[in-house]
Structure 1
Amino acid sequence: MIRGSMRRIGAGIVAALCLLVGSPAKAEDPDTISTSEITSQTSSALSSCLNWEIIGVCLWLRCTITGCSVVTTERIRHYVPDAVISAYQNTGENPWAEIRGALGSAQESAAESILSFDAFVGGGNTLEGRHSRDARQLRFKEADVVGHPFMEILEYIDVPYICPGAATAEAFHPYYQSATSVLAWRYAVPEMFYLESLQEGEREIGEWDDYTWGAVYPRSGYVSQPEDAKAAAIVAQRAGDITTREDQSGHVYEQLPGDDVVHEDGYRVWLPPELVERDEETGTFQMHMPTDTNACEVFGEDDTEDKEGWSSDKTNLKGNYVWTLWRPYNCCEIGGQVYLGSVTF
C-alpha cells in the first residue's frame, strides 16, 4: 500500500510539472537547440529522471510546555535538472542558441586575448594531417555549464512533495566557460601533473582496461577517443566534475550549490554531493542534442559486446552536444526544535 501511494504521489508530481511547460519553439538554426526545446524535453523526461521516492524518516525532538517527545517526518529524495552542459567544437559556438547569443562573443574575445590567431582559428577540431593512431583519435571540445532554465519553473511554483530550495542553481547563470580557462582547458595546467592524470586507470569513466571510454583527468578539452559522442560525454563529465567541487586550481568557474545542508521553508534540505563518474547517486545525464533520449544515464556503459555501440545513434556530424545534468536532493519537514538524525531505508 505504501509503495502504491508513493507511485501515485510521484505520478502526480510529474503530471503537475509537465502541465507547466508549453510546446517548444524550435531554434531557427537547425544546428542549435532552443531554451524552450531543452525545457520541454526535460519535462518529458520527468517520469524517468525525477526518481521521486521516500528514503527514510527524520527524527526530531519537539518540546512544549507540557514536555518533550520524539517526532518523525518522512525523508524524500528526488533529482533536479540543475544545469545544462554543452560540449561543442568551436569557441563561441555553443549549440544552445540563446546562450550562444549571450556568451559567444565574450568567449571568442577571451580566447583571442591569449591564443595566437592560427591556434584559435581551428577551434579544436580533430587533429588532421597526423599519421599516428593517437593523433587521429585526439579530439578537442569546449564546454559550458549553465544553470538550467527549468529552475525558473521550480523557483516560482509550490509543488507538493518537492524539496523547497531544490532550485539552488540559478537559471541561465554561466557556472563554467572553458574559453575563460585557457591554460587549464587547452594545456591541462596544472592538472597534467596530478596523480589522477599520471596513474593509469585512475578516475576512469568506463572499464579502464577495455579503453572504450576515457578518464576524467586531466580535466581539459582534449580527449583521445575515436568516437566523437564519447569524447563529448567525457568532456561533459569533466565539466560537471569541476563545477561540483570547491577550489579547483586553474579553472575559472563558480561552484554549483551542493555538498551542504540548508533549511528552507520549514524543511531540512540535503544538497547534492560532488559528481562522481559511474555513480548515479551523485548525478545523471539526459541528452538533448543531437538526440533527445528522454531518459537519464551515467556515462561508462560497457558496449564492447554491442555491434553498434553507445555512440551509434548519438553522434553529431557538427561535433556539438547538449546534456542536462540531473542531481539528487533530499529533504524532510522540520518536526521539532532539535534534529536528532535520520534513518534511511
Structure 2
Amino acid sequence: MKIIKRDDLLKHKPLIIGGPCAVESRIQINEAAGKLVKMGVKILRCQLWKPRTDPDSFQGIGLAGLKFLLEIKNKYNVLIATEITDKDQIAKTQGVADILWVGARNMQNFELLKALGKDKRPVILKRGLISTIDEWIGASKYIGSDRVILCERGIRTGADSMRFTMDINGLLVAKYDHNMPVIIDPSHTAGRADMVPYLAYAGIAAGADGIVVEVHPQPEKALSDATQQITPEVFKEVISKVNAIYKLRHQKEFAITHFGAKEKVQPGKKPTKTLLFLAVSDRVGILKDILTVFSDYDINLSKLESQPGKQGSWDYAFEVEANSNASEPRLIQALSILKKLCVIIKILGEY
C-alpha cells in the first residue's frame, strides 16, 4: 500500500472526513461508504476499537472489521482513517488504514505515541478532554509533528450547554502559533445531531482546516453515540456550506491587515506579490541569512517589517512582501530553504 503523506492530504482543503461513530457490521459500513463516496467524500472514519466510559457499552468489532474496511477501500477507492487504542494494533492495520487516529483519552498515552512515531502514516491526534495546548503540541512531537493533523473535539469547561466546549481560541493558537494543521470534530463537541452543522460552520469560519463528522445511515439504530450522528443527507448539505465558507475565507478579494499593513486585493488579476509571515529565534545574523535566501533565488522584497515575539516559541517575527507569485517555483524553493531557518512560515495572502 502506498503511504500517503500528511502534506498531500492538506493539498485538498478543507479536509472532509465522515463516517459512523463505529463500524458495526459489513452491511452498515458498506451502506455508509456508498452514500458518502457518492457525495464526494474521500476519507472515511472507520473505527474498529472504541474506548468507552461505560464497560457495558459497545466497544467496537475489533480486528474482525479489517476485512470490511479492505473491501470498501478497494470497492470505492477511498482513504481509511481508523483509531488505534493499543500499539499492537498498528502493524495489523497496515495495508488497510491510510490514516491512523489517536482518541482524546489516549492523547497522553506516551507508549502508544512512541510506537506511532515508528510508523510512517499520517496521524489524527485529538486533544485530551482537559489538555492544554502545550500538552497537545508536546504529544504530537512524540509521533512526529510533520505527520500529525490536530483535531479539536471539544474540552470540558464550566459550560454545560452541550457535551463539550469547542475551544476556538486553542484551535487558532495551535494553528498559527505552532504552525500545525487543525481540524474540528463538531459531533463530539455537540453531543446532539441538530447542533453539529452549526459548530462545523463556526469552526471553518474561524480557521479550521477541515471537519470530521459522525455520519450514520440510520442514526437511531447506532450502537454508540446515536444522539450525535447525522444522516448522509444532512452531511451533504454540511459539506456544501463548509466548502462555501472555506472558499469565502480564501477568496482573493480581501483586505490583508497585519502589523498595521493594509492592501486591497483586486479580483480577476493574477497576483504579483506574496505577503509572508516569518517567525524566528533570535541569533546573530538571522536576518542576513533570510535576506540571502531571497537574493539567491532572485526575489525582490518591497517591504520588510519586524516585531518582537509575544510568546516563548519565537523571538521575532518579520512581515515580508515578496515580488513573486506564491506559485512561482523560485518562491516555493526559497520557502523550502527558509523552513530550516524559521520557527514558523505562513503565506498571509497574494495580491
Greater fraction helix: 2
> What is the TM-score normalised by the length of structure 2?
0.25
Relative contact order, CA 8 A, sep 6+: which one is greater? 1
> What is the TM-score normalised by the length of structure 1?
0.25
